[in-house]
Structure 1
């Protein structure tokens, strides 16, 4: 704080001893020490208050940045949600129009159904035609795997119906 060396303190002490005298010098020194202690505490309190205010300003700035980023994130999520919702609505509308078209084709078919054929048979025929048109793409070959005869699967890995090897080949 102040740049006072040891020799300057000795000079001040000698002058104080001459001016104040030996009876009052200890009392004045004690009072001066208390006042310097209070001054140091006051300075440290002011420093801590300034540091606290600086930290509070920093926290407010961080809070504002976090709020802005949260608002930007919310805006982005809302826009993405709106685009997904519009896509879903378009898909639902196209599906409902396809269902309406299918219902209209079932109510007034272009080719009359033979006698005794009901709507389920007509729908099965239309599904079979759709499956025939939706075959594999050209150049795509599927491997024909022969199906193995289905064997009954044992429960929990234990086969109580099969004989063990020891009971089939008794060697005793």
Structure 2
């Protein structure tokens, strides 16, 4: 893990034996083991939490992408009838349009009009518009 060889571990053990003595060395080793165990457990818990978060983020991303894809599919379904090209108009056959036959070749004269007396039309009576205070006064 840290690149510590057996000879280095043996050297650390001998220094600990000399510093702590044979009476306190087993208690110190037990305490060191407990602390190392706690550190490993906390690192593993942090590692699992990070992996869960990464997995949750990945799941959220996949759900978001699926939601976007479903929205795009619905939009395509809605817009597909609108975007279909119009059917081509069939050309009109030339023989289907024929000139209208003339029943009688005699000219039609309009009926004589009777002159009606013309009276001058009454002048329209304008209703007085409300006076705008920003305009100059009107003459009566």
**Match of 1:2, SS?**
coil
Deviation at 1:17, TM superposition (A): 0.6
Q: Which residue of 2 aligns with 1:65?
A: 65
Q: Which residue of 1 aligns with 2:37?
A: 37
**Match of 2:23, SS?**
coil
Deviation at 1:82, TM superposition (A): 6.0
Q: TM-score, normalization: structure 1?
A: 0.46
Deviation at 1:57, TM superposition (A): 1.2
Structure 1 gaps, min length 5: 85-172
Q: TM-score, normalization: structure 2?
A: 0.56
Structure 2 gaps, min length 5: 85-140
Which of the two has higher C-alpha Rg? 2
Q: Work out the CA distance in 1 between the residues paired with 2:75 and 2:83.
A: 12
Q: Work out the CA distance in 1 between the residues paired with 2:2 and 2:34.
A: 18
Q: Which residue of 2 aligns with 1:167?
A: none
Q: Which residue of 2 aligns with 1:9?
A: 9
In the TM superposition, structure 1's runs of 4+ consecutive aligned residues that sit over 4 Å from their partners are 81-84
Q: Work out the CA distance in 2 between the residues paired with 1:7 and 1:33.
A: 20
Deviation at 1:81, TM superposition (A): 5.8
For 1:16-165, list aligned pairs within 5 A.
16-80=16-80
CA RMSD of aligned residues (A): 2.0
Deviations 1:120-150 (A, max 9, x none): xxxxxxxxxxxxxxxxxxxxxxxxxxxxxxx
Q: Work out the CA distance in 1 between the residues paired with 2:34 and 2:53.
A: 29
Q: Work out the CA distance in 1 between the residues paired with 2:34 and 2:64.
A: 45
